[in-house]
Structure 1
Amino acid sequence: MIAIIINALAVCAGGTVGIVLRNHISKRHINSIFSIMGVLTIVMGLQGVIPSDHMIFIMIALFLGSILGNFIDISGKIDSISERFSSEDGETNLISGAITIFLIQCTGALAILGPMKAGLVGEYDLIYFKAILDGASAIIFASIYGKSIYPAALLLLIYQGGIFLVSNIIEPVLTPLVIEQIGQIGSVLLVALGIEMLELKKMKVVNYLPAILIPILYTLIRGFFI
């Protein structure tokens, strides 16, 4: 668990550097960085989903996930919470910025495999590797989203810590195929997030998050009949 805490602290440390640098970067440069991050997010998403052999399953999962997410109205609830934390100076509020950072840093397979291997066999190499990546990327994210980096680090800690703590229970469900499918669904969400970051279309990406659970639910249901 200490490695996962180090991962979150690396995000905070990189974020602090980014916030300091942010004070010396013009608004024009921040907007430029934000735009290229949107493009890179789309590229990351495409790289993760184009090799997929499960595109029909991913489409069904996203369809079902969107129905569930819109029924719950995840985006509306988050927007309601976000309004309470919106800054007076017009900056991106803490919650929406944190969720964007969290989605980019935690939708990949590495965020699942790292804490799983740590919990099951005590191997921490993947977590430490991810901590380096997240700490470096946090510098950029903090220069764009400011203090949102800190709640993002908390979300990362809760997500990866949760996987670590229940790794023995969820191991039979999180097969290599399920992890691959979750990663590919996450990659599609990254493309949608990049489109939203570039202000091409309001995607309400969080409403699609339940789709990530579909491979797990499918595996559980299938297990009852096989």
Structure 2
Amino acid sequence: MLPIGSLVNAGAIVLGSLIGCALHSRFPERFRSIVFQGLGLGVLLLGFQMAFKVQDIIVVLFSILLGGILGELLRLDRLFDRLGNSVKKRLGSANPKFTDGLVTASLIFCIGALAIVGSIEEGIRNNPTILYTKAILDGFASIALASSFGSGVLFSALPVLIYQGTITIGAGSLENVLSTTLIDQLSATGGLLIVGIGLIILEIKEIRIANLLPALVMVGPLQWLAQILRAL
């Protein structure tokens, strides 16, 4: 099936990014700085809101720890930087924040319950309403992100489309796997990663978020293992 919701979501990101890029060139440095700080605080709030959905903090904690170790072994941060710099080079962009904008926006837009639940809802029930709502939120967020990071945010529409579209198309096989508890655990883990992004934006602490991404893959197996141990 055609992932209409994801297409609309990607289109909203492109539109918002174009508006943000237009504002970026007109903002004096002091305005860009305050927007950047406000954006960082907003990202922190989003991350904490998601993180508080945690159902089993031990599962989330071990997911972050084991995922971080795996990410370091795979050096995902270098992979993301190479991909971002490759896109930047092909486009001939001189924006020093291009790769940061692309990676940061992609993580913010892809990590979260709305992306997962909305894509599954469209895939199973042919109802893209949740993704339409997400498109509005992401559209406004991309204005703020692009006004700070520049054109790299625009190209985050592509990973969003691929990620959510893949979930929508494969939703039938995921219906019986993703329980409400598991989605909450994924949201809480993703929320912690988004808190990390907020700390980076505010220049409080440099965190290799890309290397922590495998934590999202660890949540499912660890949640399943925790359920088995409780049943013993």
> How high is the TM-score relative to the length of structure 1?
0.91
| Residue matched to 2:5 | 3
Cα drift, residue 117 of structure 1:
0.3
| Matched residue SS, 1:199 | coil
| Residue matched to 2:197 | 193
Q: Which amino acid in structure 2 is aligned with residue 29 of structure 1?
A: F
Cα drift, residue 88 of structure 1:
6.9
Assess if the C-alpha contact under 8 Å between 2:105 and 2:145 holds in 1. yes
| Residue matched to 1:118 | 122
Assess if the C-alpha contact under 8 Å between 1:173 and 1:220 holds in 2. no
| Residue matched to 1:179 | 183
| Residue matched to 1:135 | 139
Residues 94-124 of structure 1: per-residue CA shift (max 9 Å, x gap): x331110122222110010101000001111
| Residue matched to 2:207 | 203
Matches for 1:95-106 after TM superposition, within 5 Å: 95-106=99-110
| Residue matched to 2:69 | 67
Cα drift, residue 78 of structure 1:
2.1
C-alpha distance in structure 2 between counterparts of 1:18 and 1:148, whole Å:
11
C-alpha distance in structure 2 between counterparts of 1:221 and 1:43, whole Å:
31
| Residue matched to 1:25 | 27
1:151 aligns with 2:180: no
Number of aligned residue pairs:
225
C-alpha distance in structure 1 between counterparts of 2:178 and 2:52, whole Å:
22
> How high is the TM-score relative to the length of structure 2?
0.89
| Residue matched to 1:92 | 97
* RMSD of aligned residue pairs (Cα, Å): 2.2
| Matched residue SS, 2:173 | helix
C-alpha distance in structure 1 between counterparts of 2:94 and 2:11, whole Å:
27
Q: Which amino acid in structure 1 is aligned with residue 97 of structure 2?
A: T
Residues 25-46 of structure 1: per-residue CA shift (max 9 Å, x gap): 1122112111121122112211
C-alpha distance in structure 2 between counterparts of 1:83 and 1:125, whole Å:
35
C-alpha distance in structure 2 between counterparts of 1:21 and 1:188, whole Å:
30
| Matched residue SS, 1:40 | helix
User: CA 1:121–1:78 in structure 2 vs 1: closer, same or farther (change >3 Å)?
Assistant: same
Q: Which amino acid in structure 2 is aligned with residue 30 of structure 1?
A: R
C-alpha distance in structure 2 between counterparts of 1:223 and 1:32, whole Å:
46
Assess if the C-alpha contact under 8 Å between 2:59 and 2:222 holds in 1. no
User: CA 1:50–1:33 in structure 2 vs 1: closer, same or farther (change >3 Å)?
Assistant: same
C-alpha distance in structure 1 between counterparts of 2:128 and 2:84, whole Å:
34
Cα drift, residue 52 of structure 1:
2.6
C-alpha distance in structure 2 between counterparts of 1:139 and 1:193, whole Å:
17
C-alpha distance in structure 2 between counterparts of 1:159 and 1:88, whole Å:
25
C-alpha distance in structure 2 between counterparts of 1:51 and 1:208, whole Å:
19
Assess if the C-alpha contact under 8 Å between 1:22 and 1:142 holds in 2. yes
Unaligned runs of 5+ in 1: none
1:48 to 47, 50, 55: 50
Unaligned runs of 5+ in 2: none
User: CA 1:13–1:204 in structure 2 vs 1: closer, same or farther (change >3 Å)?
Assistant: same
